[in-house]
Amino acid sequence: MNLGEIVKAERRKQGISQQKLADAAGVTKRAINYWEKGTKHMNLESADKVLKALGISFTIGEQ
């Protein structure tokens, strides 16, 4: 499962529209759509904003 699929699954689980998530994350609805479809990949800054808006934390690298 890639990051876009995780975002889509969590967004749907929470009952949030793409527009509401985009507004909360400060990105466009079109960007959310691209990422969820896998058409484009999000950069780390965008990923951080979107995941925070969903209440998800993530760590890159070893712990």
Domain boundaries, the chain: 3-54
What phi and psi values does residue 15 have, to the nearest 5 degrees?
A: 70, 35
Is residue 48's pLDDT more than 90? yes
Is residue 63's pLDDT more than 80? no
Write the pLDDT tens digit of every residue in 30-42.
999 999 999 999 9
For a pLDDT cut of 90, what percent of the chain falls above it? 86
pTM, full prediction: 0.88
Going by pLDDT thresholds of 50, 70 and 90, the confidence category of residue 1 is confident
Could you tell me if 53 and 20 are in contact, meaning their C-beta atoms sit under 8 angstroms apart? no
Mean pLDDT of 45-62: 89
Q: Which fold would CATH assign to domain 3-54?
A: 434 Repressor (Amino-terminal Domain) (1.10.260)
